[in-house]
């Protein structure tokens, strides 16, 4: 995320170019579809495997982290308005940007269950998962030209404001778990400010200062709901931000009906791991050698360890492939990088 007018996070410049005025597309007037989170889960998701934690070679048996079952009345819902701007992106994602959509949806298989579960825990609309897709394409290593980083594209100062560690050893903007918690906290703050998920998404991209100024310039006041208020000020938002919500809505609509458009999507494996406590300064290559896996596999599980090693100092919880904890302990437990108790 990036912006210059306040200290809160905004959006990256990654994504698709502004379309200008679409040609040959008639506006769809007033058609609005309420997309319940439960319907989204039925289409896209299944229960996610539990994340397990190991401390000093002992697995803490955590129950499977199945997504919560919610009553229809309790499900947070994002109103989805289908208008000219949204239809433009629907057509883009089914034609010249089709392959991009398919790639992003495949990557959603890695982090989708994790993000949806956290959204559900907070009572937030499940469709907000596609904000992360637009921000980074579900890529923890994504970096914008203004140095916004990670799945949710945080700038450094804002990341630290929301409790993320950013230093020479650890950059939690790249951690899909920690960054998601921070992003949802920020989105909640924005929603409390505007009482509108559309405006919250716009402010997440551009910064709340720009949204505030757009509202003041338009003198925007609406009794029709958040969707109407957002569309009233859209032309006063930065060029990229104008397309942010329409892209999110287009992703939402297409993701609910991928079979209809014959998308070729092979979901990647879910982000699951066990955790082992190792001393500070443990190189990932040492652990990879003990497990007989590529070092790149441990980098995938620990994208926040920017120097390829745990940070110096006390013990650090390293994520390893599920089922490999005992092998790590047996292989390196007695060596210079052996596992040890967190309180040793």
Please indicate whether residue 310 or residue 219 has the higher confidence score (pLDDT). 310
Q: What is the dihedral of CA 257, 260, 265, 266, to 10 degrees?
A: 90
Cβ contact 240:205 at 8 Å? yes
**Phi/psi of residue 288, nearest 5 degrees:** -60, -40
Distance between CA 189 and CA 178 in Å, rounded? 17
Q: Read off the pLDDT band of 327 (50, 70, 90).
A: confident
> What pTM, to 2 d.p., does this model score?
0.75
Strands 32-36 and 53-55: unpaired
Q: Read off the pLDDT band of 226 (50, 70, 90).
A: low
DSSP labels for 192-259?
Answer: HHHS-HHHHHHHHHH-HHHHHHHHHHHT---SS-HHHHHHHHGGGS-HHHHHHHHHHHHHHHHHTTTT
Distance between CA 229 and CA 218 in Å, rounded? 10
Q: Read off the pLDDT band of 319 (50, 70, 90).
A: very high
* Per-residue pLDDT, 329: 79
Q: Read off the pLDDT band of 158 (50, 70, 90).
A: confident
* Per-residue pLDDT, 221: 56
Measured from the Cβ of residue 295, the count of other Cβ atoms closer than 10 Å reads 16
Identify the structural domains of the chain with CATH numbers, from first to last: 32-51+76-255 (1.10.530.10), 274-332 (no CATH)
* Per-residue pLDDT, 78: 84
pLDDT over 60 at 73, yes or no: no
pLDDT over 70 at 337, yes or no: no
- 160's tokens: 């630290």
Please indicate whether residue 169 or residue 222 has the higher confidence score (pLDDT). 169
Distance between CA 283 and CA 213 in Å, rounded? 48
Residue 200 CA, chain-centre distance (Å), reads: 15
Please indicate whether residue 202 or residue 16 has the higher confidence score (pLDDT). 202
Helix crossing, 129-136 with 176-194: angle to 10°? 110
């Amino acid at each position: 995320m990036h912006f210059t007018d306040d200290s809160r996070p905004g959006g990256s410049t990654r994504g698709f170019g502004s379309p200008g005025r679409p040609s040959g597309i008639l506006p769809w007037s007033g058609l609005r579809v309420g997309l319940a989170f439960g319907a989204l889960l039925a289409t896209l998701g299944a229960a996610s495997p539990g994340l397990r934690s190991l401390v000093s070679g002992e697995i803490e048996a955590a129950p499977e982290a199945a997504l919560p079952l919610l009553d229809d009345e309790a499900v947070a819902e994002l109103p989805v308005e289908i208008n000219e701007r949204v239809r433009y992106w629907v057509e883009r994602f089914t034609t010249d940007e089709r392959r991009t959509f398919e790639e992003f949806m495949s990557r959603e298989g890695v982090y989708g269950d994790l993000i949806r579960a956290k959204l559900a825990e907070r009572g937030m609309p499940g469709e907000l998962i596609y904000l992360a897709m637009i921000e980074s394409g579900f890529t923890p290593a994504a970096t914008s030209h203004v140095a916004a980083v990670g799945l949710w594209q945080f700038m450094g100062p804002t990341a630290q404001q929301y409790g993320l560690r950013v230093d020479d050893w650890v950059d939690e903007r790249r951690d899909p778990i920690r960054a998601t918690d921070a992003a949802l906290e920020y989105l909640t703050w924005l929603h409390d400010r505007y009482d509108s998920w559309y405006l919250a998404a716009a402010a997440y991209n551009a910064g709340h200062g720009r949204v505030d100024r757009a509202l003041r310039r338009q003198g925007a006041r609406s009794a029709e709901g958040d969707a109407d208020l957002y569309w009233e000020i859209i032309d006063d938002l930065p060029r990229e931000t104008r397309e942010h919500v329409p892209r999110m809505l287009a992703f939402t609509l297409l993701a609910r009906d991928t079979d209809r458009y014959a998308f070729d999507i092979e979901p990647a494996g879910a982000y699951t791991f066990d955790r082992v406590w190792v001393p500070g300064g443990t190189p990932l290559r040492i652990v990879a050698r003990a497990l007989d896996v590529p070092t790149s596999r441990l980098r995938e599980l620990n994208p926040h360890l920017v120097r390829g090693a745990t940070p110096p100092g006390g013990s650090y919880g390293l994520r390893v492939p599920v089922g490999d904890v005992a092998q790590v302990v047996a292989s390196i437990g007695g060596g210079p990088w052996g596992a040890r108790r967190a309180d040793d």
